[in-house]
Structure 1
């Protein structure tokens, strides 16, 4: 099975104070995954840098997409604590998307991506739909990587294909249309958000006529977390 990636955007909304939201994420939600499951290789959270909503982003590198169907992971949502269940039903948005790995420009000496030591400070995310054959996306990734290597301030780019998603929350409209999301995700790690405006970056990251960027967002690192997989946190008992 391919490598997996979990991306979750969230908006606390009027019914969940930010302090309560942060306490839940930092002290319950993230530890239940990173302190227990070696399949969760990394985990980090980012806040919106563009004043748009959702305001919060969480990303996790997963060792195998099979993890998303494994009981060790699925039971975390099926058996929420009373406190978590109460908070989740009050959130304005919790948008969970699981992905399979497509391509990676490669690890960089500039940052450790989502590991706590020297974590990437800024992300640029592009959600993309492909026109025509999905196979066209793979060679585009390779071409983009070659061009991005010449962009000052660029660190790393990875691409993914969405395999499942679910939006819940008080602000999510009813009906299947609300659950439609772009098929592909591109995550750019950069040293500065100013990279997003560089002509060289814009040119290299634009998929052209073969695809359409449905949404672009910019993010600031809030926190990168230790994990059992990294060997920098002691495993908690289940």
Structure 2
């Protein structure tokens, strides 16, 4: 079994918000939770003013995405086809887990996603393990950090997915220290792509 993350960014565009949420909560997401190996799903709204404005993420066994049950639900209903055609964005990414630190939090109030590409992934990994993760996880309210490698979909190659209590932590002295060390500056100087997004909890997918 390969532990993974299905990470889906969406922007409703021409779809009215009520219709978007009704489709996602009552058709699209529950269908995914019906697939063996997809264990839980959560929906979050953007807190950073950026677009796409919605994130859905699912904890799963990556093999579940290749089985017949998942392939069957990817055959869209007429309603789903209509919604998807009107979305501004539907950005689907699949990641495999490479590291998990801290304590799990169900329905984390805030998640921070930082996606990076670098020509030196080993150096990035060493920095995370030896400096960055210990500094962040020492901050009260910074609960868990999972790191992933992208296996399907667009975007940078590596993802750090943080579960935290509040955006107020970004103003903490400890956070400013963790993000301003000489080692971090050296590592980030070699990064070729970076996406940083902040989302707040919206709901748990029915069936999780």
TM-score band, normalised by shorter chain: 0.7 to 0.9
User: Once the two structures are superposed, what CA deviation does each residue of 1:21-53 show, in whole Å capped at 9, x if it has no partner?
Assistant: 00000000111011x123112110000111111
Counterpart CA distance in 2 for 1:106 and 1:41 is: 20
User: Once the two structures are superposed, what CA deviation does each residue of 1:114-147 show, in whole Å capped at 9, x if it has no partner?
Assistant: xxxxx21111111111232x23343333223222
Cross-structure match for 2:122: 135
Q: Which runs of 5+ in 2 are unaligned?
A: none
Q: Single out whichever of 140-149 and 121-130 deviates more from structure 2.
A: 140-149
Q: Is the 8 A contact 1:102 1:138 kept in 2?
A: no
User: Once the two structures are superposed, what CA deviation does each residue of 1:139-169 show, in whole Å capped at 9, x if it has no partner?
Assistant: 333223222221122111111111001xxxx
How far 1:71 moved relative to its partner? 2.0
Q: Is the 8 A contact 2:102 2:137 kept in 1?
A: no
| RMSD between superposed Cα atoms in Å | 1.9
Counterpart CA distance in 2 for 1:214 and 1:158 is: 17
Cross-structure match for 2:23: 24
How far 1:68 moved relative to its partner? 2.1
Give the paired residue count.
Answer: 201
> Aligned pair 1:225/2:177, yes or no?
no
How far 1:202 moved relative to its partner? 4.2
- Secondary structure in 2 aligned to 1:189? strand
Match of 1:192 among 166, 191, 196: 166
How far 1:220 moved relative to its partner? 0.8
Counterpart CA distance in 1 for 2:176 and 2:146 is: 16
Counterpart CA distance in 2 for 1:97 and 1:84 is: 19
Counterpart CA distance in 1 for 2:70 and 2:156 is: 24
Normalising by structure 1, we get a TM-score of 0.78
Q: Which runs of 5+ in 1 are unaligned?
A: 113-118, 166-178, 231-238
Tell me which protein shows more helix as a share of its residues: 2
Normalising by structure 2, we get a TM-score of 0.88
- Secondary structure in 2 aligned to 1:37? coil
Show structure 1 runs of 4+ deviating over 6 A.
none
